[in-house]
Amino acid sequence: MSTVSETIHVPAPVDEVFGFLDDPDNHMAVTPSIANIDNVERLENGGKRLDHTFRMAGVPLDGELVQTVHEPDERMVFEMRGRLEGEIELQFEAEDGGTRLTYAATYEIPGNVLSAVAEPFARRYNERELRTTLENVQTHFELAD
């Protein structure tokens, strides 16, 4: 298992940033490697379950995301199931008139992808992916001002 984590300041209130990332369509808009999201279902805990296709180094990885934790304006946790397994956690904290957004992902790279992509490359790829996603969220709110 590998873990990557990054934090960024978003120039918008916590409730707006949480609301934006609570919409699966917005994840497609800000996460470069998400190629598809389908079959979104709302769960009793306020979270969602959905099917997705994620591309890692050009390899499509189909799977399911289940939001196991949905704490409005505080935290979201997603369990990744399928060819790419692990967990994604988003934390939201008020900071300097905006939001401190932390994105952490723990994942296991499937063997067929690992054979095509060396482990250090895959880690750097995921770090870049995570950083780009956070920067895209930040830019979305900067442009909304």
Residues 6+ apart with CB under 8 A from 13: 94, 98, 99
Tokens representing 110 are 């499937």
User: Could you tell me the pLDDT band of residue 89, with boundaries at 50, 70 and 90?
Assistant: very high
pLDDT of residue 113: 53
On the question of pLDDT at 116 being above 80, the answer is no
CA distance 79 to 64: 8
CATH (domain of 60): 3.30.530.20
Count how many Cα atoms sit within 13 Å of the Cα of residue 58 in the half-sphere of its side chain: 2
User: Could you tell me the pLDDT band of residue 50, with boundaries at 50, 70 and 90?
Assistant: very high
Of the ranges 2-6, 45-49, 60-64, 122-126, the best mean pLDDT one: 45-49
Q: Which of 67-76, 84-93, 116-125 has the lowest mean pLDDT?
A: 116-125
Mean of the pLDDT values across residues 63-82? 96
Residues 6+ apart with CB under 8 A from 141: 10, 11, 12, 16, 17, 20, 98
Structural domain of 61: 2-144
Distance between first and last Cα of the chain? 39
CA distance 61 to 100: 30
Number of domains in the chain: 1
pLDDT of residue 129: 82
- Rounded to the nearest integer, the mean pLDDT of the chain is 88
pLDDT > 90 in the chain, percent: 58
pLDDT of residue 85: 86
What residue spans of 1-145 are helical by DSSP H? 14-21, 24-30, 111-116, 119-144
